[in-house]
Amino acid sequence: MRVFPLSVIAIACISTGSLSVGNTFANDAKTLAQTTQVQATAVATPHTTAPEKTLVDTPVVVPQVVNSAENTTITAPAADVITEPVVVTAEAQPAATPERANTFVNDAILPPSITWHGASESLILSVDNEWATPFEQSRGLESPSYDATIAWLDKLALETNKLQKVSLGKSPQGRDMWMYIASSEGINESARLKQNTKPTVLVQAGIHAGEIDGKDASMMLLRDIIKGDKSGLLDKANLLFVPMFSVDAHERSSEFNRVNQRGPVNMGWRTTANNLNLNRDYAKADTLEMQHMLRAINVWQPDLYIDVHVTDGIDYQYDVTFGYNLAQGLSPASFRWLENSYRPAVEAALTEQGHIPGPLIFAVDNTDITKGMSLWNPSPRFSNGYGDARHLPTILIENHSLKPFKQRVLGTYVMLEQTLKTVGEQATKLKSAIQEDKYRASPLITLTWKSAPLATGWDFKGIDYALETSPISGTEVVRWNGQPKLYPNLPVMAETVPDIKVTRPSAYYIPAQWTQVIDRLNVHGIRMTRLTKPTELKLQQYKLSNPVFNTQDLEGRQTVKAESELTKVSTTLPVGTVKISTEQPLGDLAILLLEPQSPDSLLQWGFFNPIFTNTEYIEDYAVEPLAAKMLKEDPKLQAQFDKALTNAEFAADPEARLRWFYERSPYYDNQYLKYPVYRSR
């Protein structure tokens, strides 16, 4: 038997997690060992069902020990491979691994945390369980990195054919946006998923990468489906799971991100690597990540879409809040199912497990709760507004940022588990509601909404607070004290009153040169055809006036608003013109993207900004004789000019007077301020 120095034995023990010097190193070593085993098994034991995309092999990582004295790295081989003793002096031994954090770096500056214990804590596996997630191994304080997340999920997938994996595409920094498909049949293709006729739930986490609760909750739930006693959840429903939507931002991780949020220890960044907010990008679809997600929605056709966030704002007792668009929106049948079937079931499950569920909450005034709450009816730049427009029931989860990470993750687990149960049990009702909304084709479409008070108020489960004058800011600030307080019958303002409305056109026509607009409509999955021969039609066209450009950049774009007047035109549309019928499932979405007064129209997002540039002009020496000729030949024009001169400001402006004639001459650009999208009634 070969004898090794104690220092070598110590290194070997530390590298395999055998010494009790802290859980972090031990768990990391264990994860590496498991990853190595999984990768080796992956080669020898492939899935019975081939993956939809070929995966790139991940390099096997060997645990290493750093000799701090010599600043060199020593690879620690297995004990039966060591041939010579390695001498390490006491001074050169690695420093003791620090204990895991048991609090969050920003705790001291946040309002008091309410101690919570609930029945859902029984869902957590022990730290040393082979199938404990990284979240569980950290005792509910940490969320794993991109690589560690995928490695853990891949290890789980090797245990079954019920969990498959596809890439939705690459991020700007080259990371795969992975989606896991959980089905009882081991399906990895969208066509086969549709054939099994079960409803499909799409859960995405990390659209704001620091708000990552959905990732860790879904990892636990998938583990319990594959390795535990919850496989029956897949008997009546399929699950699509995107663990990290904003993958690049997920890796911009720090304990100093999201100062208003109580964990995890390290959190991702709010915006993408290009500093764009994905949850403002659904309509314009500028980001690669959003384009991948929209194509996935079109290809996989989920029946329910869940977007998991963590909210900011006021303090209150609710730990899991969630909402969807209102009854007045574009998907009223889906709203009724969500409100009357889905919400009661989910809230009952959360309450039974010790959580406090509530509706999506926004205070009218964060410094005065008595002013009441507001109900939001979002536009399609947001996930739930987009879902309403395309008739995909969409739930926005907003866990409360001041509740500890563990509590939020467990609440999300309970909600997602109950979602699969309810969707499976009520598949027919859900699918019927979706079909009703898709083919509703309302003759009037509301583009904007006004707020009005609801007839019934809310009993709001809040937290008590006081206002104090701050010596820092010199104004009154809220000091939450952590004491539960009921605010009975608070008024509620809701965006339920239609503001700008338009009649539903039968179709839109877009000239072929507006390629970016056509491409975005295609990304959304909107059906279109092209004219194969010149076509003369009587149509409608908007004439725009008084454009106002935003003085600040918004999400990488120069947005614009303009007044619009609908006019009648007769025109010959050239070959290649794109026709978009509104008599299709995504007809309402097309209307919101193409009507210029819609807040998320492609016009307001700046896709048509070149039409606001007047490129041709006329010299003064030419317009003077032209004006004289026009007045001589047209007495009515003389009368109009005389009337215009009664405006003192106009009469005193020589350039305005000359431009008046140029705009009425045949030399003027007849496309200037004409919206290049035609409507047919």
* Interior angle at CA 496, CA 495 and CA 499, nearest 5: 85
Which one of 398, 417, 555, 595 is the catalytic residue?
398
Cβ distance 658 to 664 under 8 Å? no
Bridging pattern class, strands 238-242 and 200-205 = parallel
Phi, psi of 429 (to 5 degrees): -65, -40
Amino acid present at 492: V
Which of helix, strand or coil describes residue 652? coil
**563 is annotated as an active-site residue:** no
By C-alpha distance, which of 223, 415, 437, 472 is closest to 332? 437
Q: Give the helix/strand (H/E) hosting 334.
A: helix 332-337
Torsion over CA of 594, 595, 601 and 602, rounded to 10 degrees?
40
DSSP structure class, residue 504: P
Q: What residues does 222 pair with on adjacent strands?
A: none
Question: Which residues lie closer than 8 Å to 514 by C-beta, 6 or more apart?
Answer: 607, 608, 676
Pairing of the two strands 238-242 and 176-182: antiparallel
For residue 609, the tally of other CB atoms under 10 A from its CB is 15
The Cα 528–Cα 63 span in angstroms is 55
Q: CB burial class (10 A; 0-12, 13-18, 19+) of residue 262?
A: buried
Separation of alpha carbons 100 and 341, rounded Å: 42
Rounded to whole angstroms, the Cα distance separating 59 from 178 reads 18
The dihedral built from the CA positions of residue 438, 444, 449 and 453, taken in this order, carries a sign that is negative
Q: What angle do CA 105, 107, 110 make, to 5 degrees?
A: 130
Contact present, 136 and 220 (Cβ < 8 Å): yes
Sign (positive or negative) of CA dihedral 618, 621, 624, 630: negative
E strands within 37-79? 64-67, 72-75
Residue with tokens 């008084």: 546
* CB contact at 8 A, 166 and 154: no
**Two tokens, residue 623:** 């317009």
Catalytic annotation, residues: 398
